[in-house]
């Protein structure tokens, strides 16, 4: 009898402990749900939970209404349309393909006031336990302004490339015409003179080809967007740039050991930007002075490529105008140039998503710093291996 009582008592204690554990789990779940709602309701992006079988909105944060101007019934209708691909995603998962569990897509939605919104929708299918239906969890971001800014940058890049192409072609056309006239009227010239005429024409043709290759509106618009998958090693990029510096200015290369193996960039475009900075350093530095090329990881993230010279520096009053189109500072008085080099270098760097800055060195000279962002992950694809980003329905 005593044994039975002890067993019953032990069972009651175990049940009580189990009840306490379940209650704690329930309280933690409720606390987690409360925190989720707090985060969702104070986020600029719209957060949602949706029944993957019925497409019923289980939850949607207030940001969705602020973003679209629509009330819940209208949002429910749009949610059902946007989730039409969910059955196919589930079918692929059941067939062993998990690539569609998380998906990022772009869509358009008409705001209540009639304007069109560009939306980026990220959703993940979450399996519910104990026979409960699948749930679609996700967020909606308004990227309308970002897309408009991107379109404006593309227009500005084409405008810049057209201007630059014109600025170079005009003097080259004059040189080409003069060379052709010399050939036409120089029938009595000696062999050495005729060879010089041919060299002038060949140089003009080469420069015009470079303009077509690198400075056409289409080419400039592509720099930074159609990047090579693996780019170039930082050391190789800086060594190629250093090779363009004349022997009158020795070049010192300084590379951090922790630099990435490769920079993802348009190699020809970045080489052009470095060449402009190095030519600028040579032009304004005393003969025999050294130029330093440095590659390092930037403190704010990304990579910094720095060109340092030993020239006179830039007057403080002129610092804000150095990268302006056609601007030539007081130090450049009497020297050849059109004031387009630094303007062009900065444009090339900016279409890579980077920046080009100038500062005067404390020990004299200037330092031009190209900052370039680094991808989140190395390799051909920037997207996570577990996230599929496209607009296909399946």
What pLDDT, in 10s, does the model give residues 86-101? 888 888 888 888 777 8
Average pLDDT over residues 121-129: 78
Residue 131 has pLDDT above 80, yes or no: no
DSSP 57: E
pLDDT winner (highest mean) among 1-10, 160-169, 250-259: 250-259
Could you identify the residue written with the tokens 């069109």?
A: 116
Query: At CA 392, angle to CA 391 and CA 394, rounded to 5?
Result: 135
Query: At CA 378, angle to CA 373 and CA 382, rounded to 5?
Result: 75
pLDDT value, residue 227:
43
Residue 66 — pLDDT band, cuts 50, 70, 90?
confident
Which two tokens mark 367?
Answer: 């330092």
pLDDT value, residue 229:
47
Ranges 93-102, 125-134, 252-261: which has the least confidence: 125-134
pLDDT value, residue 294:
93
Q: How far apart are CA 259 and CA 249, in angstroms?
A: 26
Residue 111 has pLDDT above 50, yes or no: yes
Angle between helices 191-214 and 144-185 (to 10 degrees): 170
Residue 112 has pLDDT above 50, yes or no: yes
Average pLDDT over residues 382-390: 41
Average pLDDT over residues 222-245: 74
Collapsing DSSP to helix, strand or coil, 318 comes out as helix
pLDDT value, residue 392:
46
Average pLDDT over residues 169-185: 81
| 275-318: pLDDT as tens digits | 999 988 888 888 889 999 999 988 878 899 999 998 888 888 88
Collapsing DSSP to helix, strand or coil, 139 comes out as strand
pLDDT value, residue 23:
59
Structural contact between residues 176 and 199, judged by C-beta atoms closer than 8 angstroms:
no
Structural contact between residues 157 and 221, judged by C-beta atoms closer than 8 angstroms:
yes
Q: Which of 171, 166, 205, 203 is nearest to 336 (CA)?
A: 171
By CB atoms closer than 10 A (0-12, 13-18, 19+), residue 307 is buried
Average pLDDT over residues 115-122: 87
């Amino acid at each position: 009898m005593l044994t039975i009582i002890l067993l019953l008592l032990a069972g009651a204690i175990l049940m009580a402990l189990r009840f306490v554990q379940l209650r704690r789990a329930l309280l933690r779940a409720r606390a987690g749900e409360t925190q989720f709602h707090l985060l969702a309701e104070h986020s600029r992006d719209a957060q949602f939970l949706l029944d993957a079988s019925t497409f019923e909105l289980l939850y949607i944060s207030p940001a969705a209404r602020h973003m679209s101007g629509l009330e819940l019934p209208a949002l429910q209708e749009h949610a059902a349309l946007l989730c039409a691909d969910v059955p196919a995603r589930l079918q692929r998962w059941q067939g062993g393909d998990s690539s569609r569990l998380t998906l990022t897509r772009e869509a358009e939605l008409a705001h209540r006031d009639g304007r069109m919104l560009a939306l980026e929708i990220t959703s993940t299918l979450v399996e519910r336990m104990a026979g409960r239906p699948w749930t679609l969890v996700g967020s909606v971001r308004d990227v309308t302004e970002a897309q408009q800014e991107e379109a404006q940058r593309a227009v500005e890049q084409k405008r810049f490339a057209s201007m630059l192409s014109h600025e170079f072609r005009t003097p080259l056309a004059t040189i080409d015409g003069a060379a052709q006239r010399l050939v036409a009227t120089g029938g009595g010239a000696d062999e050495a003179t005729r060879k010089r005429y041919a060299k002038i024409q060949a140089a003009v043709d080469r420069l015009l080809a470079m303009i077509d290759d690198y400075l056409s509106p289409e080419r400039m618009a592509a720099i930074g967007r159609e990047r090579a998958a693996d780019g170039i090693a930082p050391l190789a990029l800086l060594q190629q740039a250093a090779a363009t510096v004349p022997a009158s200015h020795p070049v010192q290369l300084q590379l951090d050991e922790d630099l990435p193996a490769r920079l993802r960039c348009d190699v020809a475009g970045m080489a052009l930007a470095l060449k402009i900075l190095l030519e600028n350093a040579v032009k304004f530095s005393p003969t025999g002075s050294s130029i330093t090329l440095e590659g390092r990881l930037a403190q704010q993230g990304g990579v910094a490529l720095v060109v340092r010279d030993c020239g006179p520096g830039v007057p403080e009053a002129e610092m804000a105008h150095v990268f302006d189109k056609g601007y030539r500072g007081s130090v450049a008085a009497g020297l050849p140039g059109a004031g387009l080099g630094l303007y062009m270098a900065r444009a090339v760097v900016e279409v890579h998503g980077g920046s080009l800055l100038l500062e005067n060195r404390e020990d004299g000279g200037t330092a031009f710093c190209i900052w370039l962002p680094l991808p989140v992950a190395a390799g051909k694809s920037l997207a996570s291996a577990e996230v599929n980003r496209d607009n296909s329905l399946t």
